[in-house]
Structure 1
């Protein structure tokens, strides 16, 4: 059994109501639910939320909301892992045993079915791995990062500034879309950023963090441009 869990807390300080806010004509969370459904990988798609409003939207989009997340897992300081563990344990208590679980963020309108399938295929093909999750490359060498201090600008890594870009190792970051894992690995709290995880590399034009209003505006522009490009193909 494969389980999808979409964490979607009701509170959001920087973008009020972010998970249910309309994004290019649909509630933001709808994109994640639709991708999970269209992948045909999951026996259950559960939204973990503390908000009845989000629950109603999720159910209308085809997900299940068998519980409202408890208050102790709904504050600003609770990480994703305890939320996933809570949902897996709930499903187990109902007599079901998911072998693999995928955490899909509610803020992933660019999530592609092909990426979900690729992550699952690669994870299940290698028994030595615990997770497979989305990453993408930085658009600029992180070795040339700058910091501002005392009115001036200083490099984080002075020894790397003179080097050619092609001589600097490419760096990647978490794309914040999905995290496949064995249910056992989630329950044991095994770190996702480790040698037992498989990186599923996404193109940068399909990745945009959505944490601020500026992020939101950029994401909508990117999404509209991407959809227009798909129509033109």
Structure 2
């Protein structure tokens, strides 16, 4: 069975009630649920939450809430892999083994069904443990600077101060949208940021991490501009 697992705890600190806050007109978690439904790959779409209000909103978009997440897995230090592992183990106790699971983030309004399909196809074709969404850094990370205690700056990588941008290796980061994985990889704690994974490369204009109020504002502006452009094409 293929499982879509959307972690959505209720105790978000930096953006209160983030997972069900209205984003461009509807609860943000709704976009993730809809993308999961539209891709047609999942036997079950489950939202793992400790919060009854989030559960109610998730059900209204067609997600299942077969259990409420234990409190020990709903604090600020719980990783998403632990949440996916808990769900896989729960289904096993119900006599429903999971072959592949996809952790889909609740705050991913730019997620497209085609991205999920590409991730699954790459996971199956390569035999790797994971496939997840990445995008390229907009600026060479080798040119990063740090702020010194005295108020001045210094290069993070002094060896690249005079290296031409076109000679620097392109680098990528997690797009914060989804992580496909084989159930045994989640259960065994296989590390995703490793050669055990293959990337699904997304365009930068469809990626925005949403952790702070500033991130939220930027994401909504990007989203509205993208939708408006799509309607004119």
How much has 1:70 moved relative to structure 2? 0.6
Specify the SS of the correspondent of 2:126. coil
**2:180 corresponds to which residue?**
180
Q: RMSD across aligned C-alpha pairs, in angstroms?
A: 0.6
Aligned residue runs from structure 1 range 146-165, under 5 A:
146-149=145-148, 150-165=150-165
**1:108 corresponds to which residue?**
108
**1:122 corresponds to which residue?**
122
Distance in 1 separating the partners of 2:189 and 2:45: 21
1:22 aligns with 2:18: no
Specify the SS of the correspondent of 2:55. helix
Aligned length: 232
**1:55 corresponds to which residue?**
55
Q: Which runs of 4+ in 1 moved over 4 A?
A: none
Distance in 2 separating the partners of 1:95 and 1:8: 25
TM-score (norm 1): 0.98
TM-score (norm 2): 0.98
Distance in 1 separating the partners of 2:213 and 2:7: 20
1:140 aligns with 2:139: yes
How much has 1:118 moved relative to structure 2? 0.3
Distance in 1 separating the partners of 2:159 and 2:193: 27
**1:169 corresponds to which residue?**
169
